[in-house]
Amino acid sequence: MKPIKKYSFLSLIVVALVFFGFYRDFVFKKINALMKAWDNNMDYSMPPSLKFLENYEYSTLSNIKWLLTLLFTVIYLIISLFTVKVIFNNKKYLRITIGTFAGITIVSGLFIVVGIVFHSVSEKMYEFARYLMGMVQSPITLMILIPSFKLAEKKD
C-alpha cells in the first residue's frame, strides 16, 4: 500500500476510534444516569438523541446495555482488524486479533457466570468482567497488539 494511502487510512482509523470511544462513553453514562435516577425515584431527562430510552423498563435498559457492550466490542474488533490489515497485512496477525478479542470476551463471560453461581463474590466478578470488556471496547487492545506484532516481526 502506498504511504499516503496508508496514512490516510490510519488517520481515519484514529478518527473512528475517538468517535466511537466518546460516543460509547456518552451512551453508557446517560443510560447509567437514567437507571440511577430510577433507583433513587428521581426524574432524569435524557438528551434528545436518547430520549426514546425513557420509554423502556429498567430490565430492558439493562439488556440494552448488554447488547451495546457486544455491539461496541464488535465495532472495536472490526476497527482493530482493519488497522492490523493496513499496517501488517498478515493473516496470522488477523487471527491473533480475533482470538484476543474472543478470549477476553469469553474470560469476561466466565467471570459473570462465576458471579452468578457464587453470590458472595458476584460484585467483584462483575467489576472484573466489566474491566475486561472495557479493554475490548477501547483502543487498549489494539495498543497492545500493534507493538507485539512489531516485536514479532523484528524477532523474525
Residue with cell 426524574: 43
Residue 56 belongs to some domain of the structure: yes
pLDDT band per the 50, 70, 90 thresholds, residue 2: confident
DSSP symbols for the chain: --HHHHHHHHHHHHHHHHHHHHHHHHHHHHHHHHHHHHHTT---PPPGGGGGGGGS-HHHHHHHHHHHHHHHHHHHHHHHHHHHHHHT--HHHHHHHHHHHHHHHHHHHHHHHHHHH-GGGHHHHHHHHHHHHHHHTSTHHHHHHHHHHHHHHHH-
Asked if residue 154 belongs to a domain, the reply is no
pLDDT bin (cut points 50, 70, 90) of residue 62 is: very high
Residue 141 lies in a domain: yes
| Total structural domains within the chain | 1
pLDDT at site 89: 94
* 47 within domain boundaries: yes
74 within a domain of the structure (yes/no) = yes
Structural domain for 64, as ranges = 3-149
The upper half-sphere exposure of residue 118, i.e. CA atoms within 13 Å in the direction of its Cβ, equals 8
Residue 156 lies in a domain: no
27 found inside a domain:
yes
Distances (CA, A) of 150 to 5, 39, 43, 87, 135: 20, 48, 51, 10, 20
Q: Region 68-84: what's the mean pLDDT?
A: 97
Percent of the chain with pLDDT over 90: 96
